Amino acid sequence: MSSIGVRSYAKINWTLDVLSRREDGYHELRTILQTVSLYDRLRLEETDGAIEAVSSDSRVPEGEANLAHKAATALRRVAGVRAGARIEIDKRIPVAAGLGGGSSNAAATLIGLSRLWRVELGYGEMIEIARRLGSDVPFFLLGGTALGVGRGEEVYPLEEARSDHLLLVNCGISVSTAAAYARLSRLTRPNDVRIMPFTLLAARDIRELPLAARNDLQEVVAAAHPEIAEVIKRLESLGARHALMSGSGATVVGVFDNLETSEKARAEMRAMGFWSERVRAIGRREYGETIFD
């Protein structure tokens, strides 16, 4: 049986505006998403049997609870495929870290199995499958810099934001997305979706995003996990032009001007016992050209 290797890239949020609660229970969002050079490696093997999903990280659910497994199952059903697949996930993206690892794995599975199973579905059909899997999954069918609206599942390409010296830092905390939004909902804040959110203003000058970025969830998550606020302050003291939490956390993104400063900051973060990796922004063209290993 044939097999294929796929890179499953991580994402960061340059900005995240959380607006009113929707009728479906989710929050209305405006966010600017960005793929970065950190990635998991997926090995997809075509089989005659059932769909299997295994991971190198014990915190990632295996079998039918795995999002990549759900993606494969959905694609097989929609495309009418009879073949099975074994999905092996070599995790490099931290789990429950605000970097979209699970959603990326699902999208990479859709892309990889479409080639492996010789499935011919249009982009719209693929997006529809992705939307049913999770809010971040459609973005990973696009990559690069994109605006996310609705629950974040409606994505639109933006002018690429280039940033070559980013530092990701995670202090070992797993943050529940649902818990982060629940904390935010308890605060008194404007809920009118007609208010022009900061994200849309920032999108007009995408090149300045690293300096102008903000995340509405950062305050409430950092209040519950003060280590996040400490990491942000420490990165700024080490020369970051800007530092903010990605998504619902707990990973912090530091924006640096050069390799030397970002490398010193990485060494400092690792000396403190934190997971830390230097990455760069990945544009749509590079994303599409490098997703297959």
Mean pLDDT across the chain: 90
pTM of the model: 0.91
CA distance 163 to 165: 6
Q: Which two tokens stand for residue 223?
A: 């209040």
For range 178-204, the mean pLDDT: 67
Between 193 and 93, the higher pLDDT residue: 93
Q: Which two tokens stand for residue 35?
A: 């793929």
Exposure on the CB side of residue 243, measured as CA atoms within 13 A:
23
The ranges assigned to domains in the chain are 3-158, 166-279
CATH of the structural domain 3-158, one choice from 3.50.50.60, 3.40.50.300, 3.40.50.2300, 3.30.230.10: 3.30.230.10
* Cβ(16)–Cβ(149) below 8 Å: no
188 pLDDT band, cuts 50/70/90, is very low
Find the range with the poorest average confidence among 18-32, 46-60, 131-145: 18-32
Is the pLDDT at 21 greater than 90, yes or no? no
For range 134-145, the mean pLDDT: 96
Using alpha carbons only, how large is the chain's radius of gyration in Å?
19
Between 194 and 152, the higher pLDDT residue: 152
Q: What percent of the chain stands above pLDDT 90?
A: 68
153 pLDDT band, cuts 50/70/90, is confident
Catalytic residues: 11, 136
Is the pLDDT at 124 greater than 80, yes or no? yes
Neighbours of 284 (CB within 10 A): 16
- Say which CATH architecture domain 166-279 belongs to: 2-Layer Sandwich (3.30)
Q: Which two tokens stand for residue 188?
A: 């008194």
pLDDT given at position 18: 85
Is the pLDDT at 284 greater than 90, yes or no? yes
